[in-house]
Amino acid sequence: MIKDTLKNADEKMGKTIESLKKELASMKAGRANPAILDRIEAEYYGTMTPINQMGNISIPEARMLVIQPWDKNALKAIEKAILKSDLGINPSNDGEVIRLMIPELTEETRKNLVKNVKKLGEDSKVAIRAIRRDGNDKLKTLKKESDISEDDIKKAEVEIQKKTDSFIKDIDGIVEKKEKEIMSL
């Protein structure tokens, strides 16, 4: 039972890290990255469909994305979805493909991006700590419901704290790496 609680906490903390990485990858950082389109959906035959499932996305240049839809009829819908999104990029539609020029980052934009990165990192740390708290609560419940010794519970709590510290350290490293990437572009 204790092992299940520890394993569950470990899995949830791992998912939090993966979520953070995914969120940071989708940030517009002055360089072409197809992940910035992951959250954008276009209406395609009455259904909201992610753009990355509607065609090929390539990076012919460091600051350019090219979207080549499998169905040319989807060009207008993709263009409209990009314009409505929070990307702040004007798509260029030539009837065959859509080109997205990723603008150079200004110093102010970089600082705002770094703020957002730090906020995402902080949110992830809060989530990790909440998982720790839930794990500790489950351990206390186990202690009341069964004949698990006080020592075993204490060892498990120490283990959860070690996992928490490790994952928070990972988050700090991920955030620091992203900050350096943004500031060095």
Point out the residues of the chain with pLDDT beneath 50: none
Q: Are strands 92-93 and 98-101 parallel, antiparallel or unpaired?
A: antiparallel
Specify the pLDDT at position 28.
60
Q: Which DSSP string do the residues of 86-129 spell out, in sequence order?
A: SS----EE-SS-EEEEPPPPPHHHHHHHHHHHHHHHHHHHHHHH
Specify the pLDDT at position 185.
63
Specify the pLDDT at position 38.
79
Specify the pLDDT at position 14.
93
The Cα–Cα gap between 166 and 17 comes to: 11
Specify the pLDDT at position 107.
81
Specify the pLDDT at position 35.
79
Name the residue type at position 181: E
Distant-in-sequence, close-in-space partners of 13: CB < 8 Å, separation ≥ 6? 128, 131, 163, 164, 167
C-beta separation of 63 from 101 below 8 A? yes
* 154's tokens: 């204490």
The Cα–Cα gap between 143 and 130 comes to: 20
Please, where in the chain does CATH 3.30.1360.40 lie?
34-101
CA-to-CA dists, residue 116 to 15, 28, 40, 109, 171, angstroms: 20, 11, 19, 11, 14
Please, where in the chain does CATH 1.10.132.20 lie?
1-28+106-184
Assigned CATH for 1-28+106-184: 1.10.132.20
34-101 classified as CATH 3.30.230.70: no
Specify the pLDDT at position 159.
93
C-beta separation of 168 from 176 below 8 A? no
